[in-house]
Structure formats: C-alpha cells, structure tokens
A and B are shown apart, each in its own frame.
Chain A
Amino acid sequence: MKRKSGDVIVFNVIGYLVIIVLALLCILPVVLILSGSLSDNAAIMIHGYSLLPQEFSLEAYRMIFKHPEEIAGAYRVTILITVCGTFLQLAICSMAGYVLSRRNFAYRSRFSFYFFFTTIFSAGLVPWYILCVQYFHFKEHPYLALVLPSLFSYFYVIIFRSFMSEIPDALAESAKMDGANEFVIFLRIILPLCKPVLATIGLFSALHYWNDWYNAMLFSTKRANYPLQYYLYTVINAANALSNISASAGIIMDSLPTETYKLAMTVVATGPIVLVYPFVQKYFIKGMTIGAVKG
C-alpha cells in the first residue's frame, strides 16, 4: 500500500463530510415523519415536531386500524392499478421496442418518428382532459382512468429497442428457420434474454403507479376509488379530509384528523416503498444509467 499523501487526506475528509451531511439530509425528513407518528398528539401540540418520538405512543396507528376499511380500500386500488398498469405497460412497450429493433421491418424509422413527435409536441392538458372526460367518460370508469393515462412511454420503448438490437440476429434467424413466427421468437427467445431490462422498467413503472395521485385528482370522484397517494393527499390537507371523513358514514372520531394521525397515515402509505427499495435499487440504478446514455 502506498502512503496517502496530504492532498488525498484533505480530499477524503471533505468528501466524507459532504456525503454524510447530504445523506443525513436525505433521510432525516423521513425520520421526522416516523417519529412524529409514534409521538403523543398532545405532546406535539405543545412542543412541535422533533427528530425523536415525544412520549412514545401508538395511538395514531390504533386510530387508523380501528377503522381500516378506507385505508385497506386505498391499498386495494393502488395494488390493482400498479399490477395491471405495470404488466400492460411492459407488454405494450416491449412489443413496440422489439418491432422497432427488427432490421427487416421497413417502416421502422417512420413509426419511430410517429412516436417521437408526441414527445416534442403535445395538445396540452385541456383537450386531453375534455377527451377523457366527455368522450371516454373516465369519471365513470375509475380504474381505466387510473391505469390508461400513463400506460405508454416512448422512453421505455427506446430502452427496450436499444437492448434488443444488441441481441445477435442469428438467434432470431435460426428460430425462423425452424418455422417460428415473429411473435413466438419475441416471446420465447428475445423476452427471456431481456429479463434485466424487464425488471428495471417494470420497477420504474410500478413506482410510478404506486406514487401516482395526479390522475386520481383529475378523474376520481368517489372516495372509495382513491388510490393510496391521493387518499393520503386528502388526509394531509386537513380541510378536505375534515369534510370528507365526517361525510362518510360510520366513522366517528372525536377530533379529526390529529397531527399524529396524518403522520401515521403517511407512514402506512409510504412504508412498503421505503422497506422494499434498498433491495431493488440496483435495478433502478441500472435503468438510470441506461437512460442517460441512450435517452
């Protein structure tokens, strides 16, 4: 081992300091929420939020799980749209990516332009909204309204295309010799080789659906159809929540909704992601780096 020279030591010290401070800043706000949710509500009213729980109490969680119907319903909606949305998005985008990667497909560049143009020019929110509400009646079909709007992404198609065009043609050719058609080749030969990309894009897609609240805000009319994040949004913005919760029958709480209740709801809605992402982040990191190079 070489002896570390002065400049390297200085650089190391600065580096460690900067990274530690920034990394703490990234997780402290989340710690703040967690400890707030485990605090006693009265203590927060007096002392405000802090990084450690004040007068540890599970009252807020007890309150949520006393009437779990709403949060369970929101979970059901979110899981359903996440699973369906991710699956359909993977199917549509991987097929499109495969077709655009085939060199024997003469209309490749024309279709690429057809997709690409929509990424540089769009009609804007209003015409799209009118189309969805007045002509497709999204407000009466809550699940369609939550799944359809973000089903297609040309960016994902490009990632599939560039990954698939690196698979040697010989593989597809030999299968063709054996009489397999293009779809069979795609399903049996290409897709199995694309497992890492499928995992990466699938996770990005799942994260998007899980965190989506915008489409619900635009189209969801009934509280029973709210996905998790939008449900959380209404709880956090107390004024909304106040009117909504007291309006829905059967749920009676003495004070609506307390500070700790909001925080506990945030923890319940975000928990799964925070617990899962450290284990799957390598797939995300792969996706982030592909995206930057080939986007």
Chain B
Amino acid sequence: MQKKKEKQEQKLKPRRPTLRSELKKNGILFCMLLPAVLYVLIFNYLPMPGMIVAFKNFNYGKGLFGSDWAGLKNFGYLFKTGAIWRVTKNTVVYNLLFIICDMVVQIAVAVFLSETLGRKFKKVSQTMLLLPYFISWVVAGAIVYNLLSTDYGLINHILTANGKEAVNFMNTPRYWPGLFVLFHVWKQLGYGSVVYLSAITGIDSEIYEAALADGANIFQRVFRITIPLLKPTVIVLLLLNVGNIIKGDFAMFYNLTGNSAMLMDVSDVIDTFVYRSMIQTQNFGMSAAAGMLQSFLGFGIVMTVNTIIRKVEPDYALF
C-alpha cells in the first residue's frame, strides 16, 4: 500500500527533494516529529549497541563498555543448563494455546451476541465481559490467591466442605497450564469479542436475507456465512499475534504464580527468566544473551512469516 503511494508520488514529482529543501519547506513538520524521533532514538535505538553485554562479564563498576569480554560463555551456559530450551518452549507453547483458545471463545461469544440477544442484555453482558480487561494483573494475582490458596481459597473451601481433600495449587505444577489458559481467556474475552462483533456487524445483511429466503437455518447461517466471512479478521489478528509468539506475557506469569519457585518448570517464560536472572541473580550477561536470542528469533519469525504471506496472499502482508 505505502510503497504504491510512494511510487505515485515519485512519478508526480520530477525530482526527489533534497533534505535541505525539505527542511526549509517543512521545517515545522520536522519539529513536530522531533519528540517522537528523539524518543525512539534514545529508548529504542540507543540500547541496541548495548546488546554486546551478552558477550561480556558485566560489572557495574566497569560499566557497559569497560567490562571484560566473556566470548560465548553466556550463551554456552544457557544451552548447557537447558534453561533456554525450557523457557522458549514454554513461551511458544503457551502463546499458541492462548491464540487458539482465545479465538474460539471470543468468536463464539461474538456470534451469540450478534445473532440472538436483545439490546439491553447485549450491553450489560458486554460490560461484564470487559471488566477483566480493566483490571491489572496484580489484582488478578490477588484473585488467584482468593480462589486457590490452600488455607482460605474458595475452591479448597468447597472441596473440603464436600469431604474432599484440599489441593495445594500453588505447589502443584500440573494444574498451571490450564490455569494460565483460563486466566488469559478470561482477561482477553471482552476485548476480543468486541473486535469480532464489529467484524460481524460489518457483514452485508443481504447475504443473510438471501440465505433465509433459501431456507437456511440459523446454524447453517452461522457456520456457512458468519464464520467464513470472519476469515480476514482472523488472519489479521493471527498475523499480529504470530509476531509476538516469542514474547511471554511477563505481568501475567509473574503475578499469577507470585514468582513461585515450585512452579518454574511450567511458569517460566523467556521474559520472566530474563528479568529474574538480571534482578535476582544479577547475571546481566546471561540474561542479555537470552534476551538477544529472543530478539533475533522474533525478528526472524516476523520476516519469514511476512515473506511467505507476500507470496501467498499479498493483501495480508504486514509490510
């Protein structure tokens, strides 16, 4: 899209304007863009040379550039201990689970909201569904505690009242993959269903009328019309998510488990690992190495996916 426009502009103008003439003509525009440019320069581009810390034995006193070189030791450590495999696997698998489960529930809710419900009911239920979106993960962590704590939690309260034994959720890894998915769906449900609902309301109502005239029942209308026509929205959202597949939701994993050591095997994602190695064990080199792998892997994934899409369905390409 953008490239096409640019090409047209070049055709219209005989010569590409020089920087100086452009500065003179549009000086005020440059000034207005300056805060954003400077911000990104300082907080996004300036740290990039700092990535060399992954190859160093970082020492606060000696500073970033004065610290001794460590070669590939930091990376070697990550691979030898197997930490990098564990956290990368957790990150990717959880993100895939989140994408799929979120999508199924969100689309179902959007379809139900669009097809059946009265105005008032729609509004009230949508407000209720959006509540978790506005609550911070810190509060969600408090909710987990209320529900699952061994001594006071509601779930264990119900279990013991029914003569069953209490479950120590905070120390039992096998419950957590399900719990993470549950809470992720819970938090994103309102947002996602709003997005899909707006896509559904954008569908031409004549299609439904025609189907109705042909005697299609409501299930056929949903599965043959609504869901296939959501394809573009689904693809756009999928692509946006694929770019982030290597980024773990730090706030969620950190708060829901309270950074519990017992649950590390199932709750440690790249972002929590990087944070913990940096702040708690002060191992700047190793956490930078993990972060660097994450950055390059993420970049590689986005580039690959985008290249493939440009060949298959150019309309959906991100850039």
Chain A interface (Cβ < 8 Å from any Cβ of B): 5, 7-8, 11-12, 14-16, 18-20, 22-27, 29-30, 32-33, 36, 44-45, 47-51, 91-93, 95-96, 98-100, 102-109, 111-112, 114-116, 118, 120-131, 134, 148-149, 151-152, 157, 181-183, 186, 207, 211, 213-214, 218, 229-230, 232-233, 236-237, 259, 262-263, 266, 269-270, 273-274, 277-278, 281, 284-285, 288-289, 291-293, 295
Mask: chain B, 13-40; 1 = CB below 8 Å from A; 0 = not = 0001100001001101111110111011
Chain A: minimal CB distance from B70 (Å): 14
A244 to B319, CA, bound (A): 49
A278 to B115, CA, bound (A): 23
A125 adjacent to B275 (CB under 8 Å) = yes
Q: Which of B49, B54, B117, B126 is within 8 Å of A15, CB to CB? A: B117
Chain A: minimal CB distance from B164 (Å): 14
B residues less than 8 Å from A45 (CB atoms):
152
B residues less than 8 Å from A229 (CB atoms):
136, 138
With both beta carbons as reference points, the residue of chain B lying nearest to A292 in the complex is identified as B195
A26 to B185, CA, bound (A): 10
Per DSSP, chain A at the interface is helix
Chain B interface (Cβ < 8 Å from any Cβ of A): 2-3, 6, 9, 16-17, 22, 25-26, 28-33, 35-37, 39-40, 43-51, 53-54, 58, 60, 63-64, 105, 108-109, 112-113, 115-117, 121, 124-136, 138-139, 141-143, 145-147, 151-154, 156-157, 186, 189-191, 194-195, 198-199, 217-219, 222, 233, 236-237, 240, 243, 250-251, 255, 258, 271, 274-275, 278-279, 284, 287-288, 291-292, 294-295, 298-299, 302-303, 319
Chain A: minimal CB distance from B149 (Å): 8
B28 adjacent to A181 (CB under 8 Å) = yes
A120 adjacent to B243 (CB under 8 Å) = yes
Q: A105-B26, A131-B47, A289-B195 are in contact. Are A49 and B157 (CB under 8 A)?
A: yes
B51 adjacent to A32 (CB under 8 Å) = no
Q: A106-B22, A292-B198 are in contact. Are A127 and B36 (CB under 8 A)?
A: no
Q: Which of A24, A120, A230, A237 is within 8 Å of B299, CB to CB? A: A120
Q: Which of A14, A95, A109 is within 8 Å of B36, CB to CB? A: A95
B219 adjacent to A11 (CB under 8 Å) = yes
B residues less than 8 Å from A293 (CB atoms):
236
B33 adjacent to A33 (CB under 8 Å) = no
Q: A23-B125, A183-B28, A211-B136 are in contact. Are A106 and B116 (CB under 8 A)?
A: no
A295 to B22, CA, bound (A): 29
Chain B: minimal CB distance from A243 (Å): 16
Chain A: minimal CB distance from B277 (Å): 9
A49 adjacent to B295 (CB under 8 Å) = no
A residues less than 8 Å from B219 (CB atoms):
7, 11
A127 adjacent to B275 (CB under 8 Å) = no
29 residue pairs bridging A and B, Cβ less than 8 Å apart: A8-B116, A14-B112, A15-B112, A15-B116, A22-B109, A23-B124, A23-B125, A33-B139, A33-B142, A44-B152, A92-B35, A93-B36, A95-B33, A95-B36, A99-B30, A107-B22, A120-B243, A123-B291, A125-B291, A126-B284, A134-B63, A183-B31, A214-B251, A232-B142, A274-B131, A274-B134, A277-B134, A288-B195, A295-B240
Q: Which of B109, B195, B233 is within 8 Å of A19, CB to CB? A: B109
With both beta carbons as reference points, the residue of chain A lying nearest to B25 in the complex is identified as A104
Q: Which of A131, A151, A207 is within 8 Å of B39, CB to CB? A: A151
A127 to B112, CA, bound (A): 47
With both beta carbons as reference points, the residue of chain B lying nearest to A32 in the complex is identified as B146
A19 adjacent to B125 (CB under 8 Å) = yes
Known A128-B50, A130-B47; 11 more pairs at CB < 8 Å: A96-B32, A123-B295, A126-B284, A127-B64, A131-B47, A214-B251, A232-B139, A236-B145, A237-B258, A270-B135, A288-B194
B125 adjacent to A20 (CB under 8 Å) = yes
Chain A: minimal CB distance from B160 (Å): 8
B residues less than 8 Å from A19 (CB atoms):
109, 112-113, 117, 121, 125
A residues less than 8 Å from B9 (CB atoms):
103
B127 adjacent to A278 (CB under 8 Å) = yes
Chain A: minimal CB distance from B245 (Å): 13
A residues less than 8 Å from B130 (CB atoms):
26, 277, 281, 284
A33 to B255, CA, bound (A): 16
B residues less than 8 Å from A103 (CB atoms):
9
B288 adjacent to A124 (CB under 8 Å) = yes
A123 adjacent to B51 (CB under 8 Å) = yes
